[in-house]
């Protein structure tokens, strides 16, 4: 693995404000000297996610997610350790010089970096073609017809992809982007039949897709030839830097506005998103030509409590509304629907009626269930009892999507009142559906559920863990501990692994960033265990209590040694000489135990 000097890692962590870093994705509020928010790694209603500036770390008391700024980028954004270090170093203006390289790790990191560079450069090339090339005249005409000015095109770096492979090769040559790289990045396609490459995007209007940091990671290309028999929109295929199920178009621009408003507007396409944003509603995003996913819901939940779906008014748009609700509601998001008039999409509505009318549309957005019931009432005769019961059976799955018993019960009451049905009937249908789902899934909890991961702190000896905690929060204790020369006793003590890590560590106890580097060098579970320990309340006591704890560990080590010796005495193969020697050692161990116990009772200074 490539190695970066510890001094550099310390500089990077010391220069990184972990509250600012995490606060870009999680709504945090101050709680004393720390910050709390809803955990981005699991679904929760009450904040259990804690960020502690004093230790430059985070910890969730709900799911156990923990770590430093490096771990945050690794877990939250899927970066490797080296990529996380480089990103934070670049943001802090710190130069990275690696001492040792691992060929495989370095090659993978280099490939990802080249892909990002290729996307950045080709986005600029596409954009320049759109603005200046005669080949892009149809693209410019299309944008003009949609009311998209050159200024808007520049702000979103909209581009044009020509059909010519030769032009693309000419662009790639100065950068020395090879064929294999461009194929893996999804910019070139490969034809098995012709055994040749071709531009994946040909004669299309190009919308760059960016990650949360604003880096171009893919494209969505809109077909310009109405006669072409191919998909109207084409997205980048999944690559090492792009997965359409994990990306929301416009999220890099909208994130802070969503957080500020506590609400996200969700459209179906790129142009709708751009025009809504440009009309003065910057808290807007869109999916990537795919149904809403769990990741999309989690990303929005980290920023807001409410989502307003603003989809086309046609049947496919309404189906998409229902599908999105099924994904969003279980995450505790309030889902509303801004119903557009027939034949309108957000873009045409704004162009024809203006931003003020769109603001009114958002203001009057209806709760999803109210919208769904109204839509059903418009196309079905819900005055007839049989039809109401039939519709009630259809709406059961939607009621089961709510994340909490209270939300579900409230929804059941509303639907029952709207359909003029007894609440008990609807509740019974929901319970029957729950039971049926369990039955279909073969509800075998003991066989299908993954075994719970053991609590790493629970495996530690309590006294050992107390001394470890004291050493972490009190530099005087750690300096004293390292000077005792007694770390050899840990070899006799089970459950002292965490204490051994700290005791034998080389980090400076007076430097918080040095400890963060120490954490970053541990495996995931160890890092989580130490971070969780740090986020516990500080244990009472200081150096004298640490002395008592160490004497207690000495006593435990000697007791365990005596027990092992007694077990050896039971061996039938032991000689009389060995028996006598073991018995003498056992007597000496008991004398030492008595002496150490008297030290604790008398409060005497520590002695070996």
Strands annotated E in 192-331: 196-199, 204-210, 216-223, 233-235, 263-267, 284-286, 306-309
Is 569 a residue whose pLDDT tops 50?
yes
Give the pTM. Answer: 0.64
Residue 458 CA to residue 529 CA, distance in Å, equals 10
Provide the terminal-to-terminal Cα distance of the chain, rounded to the nearest Å.
Answer: 41
**Helices 294-301 and 315-328, interaxial angle, to 10°?**
70
Q: Which of 354, 259, 262 is nearest to 308 (CA)?
A: 262
For residues 569 and 254, the model is more confident at 254
Do the Cβ atoms of 278 and 152 come closer than 8 Å? yes
For the chain, the average pLDDT equals: 85
Is 608 a residue whose pLDDT tops 50?
no
Q: Please give the pLDDT value at position 246.
A: 85
Distances, alpha carbon 10 to alpha carbons 52, 98, 459, 518, in Å: 17, 14, 30, 9
Percentage of residues of the chain with pLDDT beyond 90? 32
Distances, alpha carbon 576 to alpha carbons 37, 564, 579, 580, 583, in Å: 67, 18, 5, 6, 11
SS3 59: strand
Q: Please give the pLDDT value at position 455.
A: 61
Is 194 a residue whose pLDDT tops 60?
yes
Residue 153 CA to residue 131 CA, distance in Å, equals 9
Q: Please give the pLDDT value at position 98.
A: 58
Query: Average pLDDT, stretch 308-335?
Result: 87
Q: Would you state the structure tokens that stand for residue 502, as one six-digit string? A: 């700290």
Do the Cβ atoms of 470 and 546 come closer than 8 Å? yes
Q: Would you state the structure tokens that stand for residue 532, as one six-digit string? A: 């969780």
Is 453 a residue whose pLDDT tops 60?
no
In which band, very low, low, confident or very high, does the pLDDT at 164 lie, cut at 50, 70 and 90?
Answer: very high
In which band, very low, low, confident or very high, does the pLDDT at 450 lie, cut at 50, 70 and 90?
Answer: very low
Residue 51 CA to residue 595 CA, distance in Å, equals 45
In which band, very low, low, confident or very high, does the pLDDT at 104 lie, cut at 50, 70 and 90?
Answer: low
In which band, very low, low, confident or very high, does the pLDDT at 251 lie, cut at 50, 70 and 90?
Answer: very high
306-309/263-267 β-pairing:
parallel
Q: Which of 456, 458, 459, 463 is nearest to 557 (CA)?
A: 463
Do the Cβ atoms of 211 and 169 come closer than 8 Å? no
Q: Please give the pLDDT value at position 456.
A: 66
Residue 220 CA to residue 288 CA, distance in Å, equals 8
Residue 553 CA to residue 593 CA, distance in Å, equals 11
Question: Picking from 96-100, 139-143, 431-435, 508-512, which range would have the lowest pLDDT averaged per residue?
Answer: 96-100
**Helices 512-520 and 524-534, interaxial angle, to 10°?**
150
Calculate the CA 458 to chain-centre distance.
26
Is 350 a residue whose pLDDT tops 50?
yes
Is 563 a residue whose pLDDT tops 90?
no
Is 367 a residue whose pLDDT tops 80?
yes
């Amino acid at each position: 693995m490539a190695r970066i000097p510890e001094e550099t890692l310390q500089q990077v962590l010391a220069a990184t404000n972990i509250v600012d870093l995490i606060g870009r994705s999680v709504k945090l509020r101050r709680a004393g000297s720390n910050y709390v928010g809803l955990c981005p790694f699991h679904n929760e209603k009450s904040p259990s996610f804690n960020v502690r500036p004093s230790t430059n770390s985070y910890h969730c008391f709900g799911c156990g997610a923990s770590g430093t700024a490096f771990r945050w980028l690794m877990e939250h954004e899927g970066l490797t350790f080296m990529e996380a270090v480089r990103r934070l170093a670049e943001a802090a203006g710190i130069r990275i010089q690696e001492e040792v390289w691992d060929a495989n790790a370095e090659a993978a990191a280099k490939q990802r970096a080249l892909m990002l560079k290729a996307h950045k450069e080709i986005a600029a090339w596409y954009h320049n073609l759109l603005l200046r090339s005669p080949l892009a005249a149809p693209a410019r005409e299309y944008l003009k017809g949609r009311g998209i000015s050159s200024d808007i095109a520049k702000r979103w770096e909209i581009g044009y992809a020509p059909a010519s492979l030769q032009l693309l090769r000419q662009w790639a040559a100065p950068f020395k982007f090879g064929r294999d790289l461009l194929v893996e990045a999804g910019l070139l396609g490969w034809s098995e039949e012709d055994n040749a490459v071709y531009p994946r995007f040909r004669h299309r209007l190009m919308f760059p897709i960016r990650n949360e940091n604003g880096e171009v990671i893919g494209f969505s290309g809109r077909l310009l030839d109405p006669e072409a028999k191919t998909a109207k929109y084409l997205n980048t295929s999944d690559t090492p830097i792009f997965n359409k199920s994990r990306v929301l178009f416009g999220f890099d621009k909208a994130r802070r506005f969503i957080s500020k408003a506590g609400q996200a507007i969700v459209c179906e396409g790129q142009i709708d998103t751009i025009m809504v944003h440009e009309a003065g509603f910057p808290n807007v995003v869109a999916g990537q030509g795919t149904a809403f996913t769990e990741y999309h819901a989690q990303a929005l939940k980290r920023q807001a409590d409410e989502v307003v779906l603003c989809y086309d008014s046609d049947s496919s748009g309404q189906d998409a509304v229902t599908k999105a609700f099924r994904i969003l509601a279980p995450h505790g998001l309030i889902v509303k629907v801004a119903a557009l008039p027939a034949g309108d999409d957000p873009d045409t509505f704004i162009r024809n009626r203006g931003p003020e009318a769109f603001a009114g549309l958002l203001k009057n957005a209806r709760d999803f269930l109210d919208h769904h019931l109204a839509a059903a009432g418009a196309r079905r005769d819900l005055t007839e009892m049989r039809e109401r019961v039939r519709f009630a059976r259809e709406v059961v799955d939607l009621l089961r999507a709510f994340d909490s018993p209270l939300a579900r019960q409230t929804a059941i009451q509303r639907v029952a009142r709207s359909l003029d049905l007894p609440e008990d009937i609807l509740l019974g249908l929901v319970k029957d559906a729950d039971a049926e789902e369990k039955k279909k899934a073969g509800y075998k909890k003991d066989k299908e559920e993954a075994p719970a991961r053991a609590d790493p702190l629970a495996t530690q000896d309590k006294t050992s863990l107390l001394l470890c905690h004291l050493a972490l929060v009190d530099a005087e204790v750690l300096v004293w501990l390292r000077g005792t020369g007694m770390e050899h006793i840990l070899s006799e003590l089970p459950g002292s692994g965490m204490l051994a890590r700290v005791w034998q560590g080389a980090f400076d106890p007076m430097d918080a960033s040095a400890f963060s580097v120490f954490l970053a060098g541990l495996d995931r579970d160890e890092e989580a265990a130490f971070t969780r320990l740090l986020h516990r309340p500080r244990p009472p006591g200081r150096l004298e209590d640490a002395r008592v704890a160490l004497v207690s560990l000495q006593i435990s080590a000697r007791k365990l040694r005596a027990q092992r010796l007694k077990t050896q005495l039971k061996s039938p193969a032991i000689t009389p000489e060995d028996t006598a020697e073991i018995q003498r050692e056992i007597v000496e161990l008991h004398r030492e135990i008595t002496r150490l116990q008297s030290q604790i009772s008398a409060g005497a200074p520590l002695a070996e």
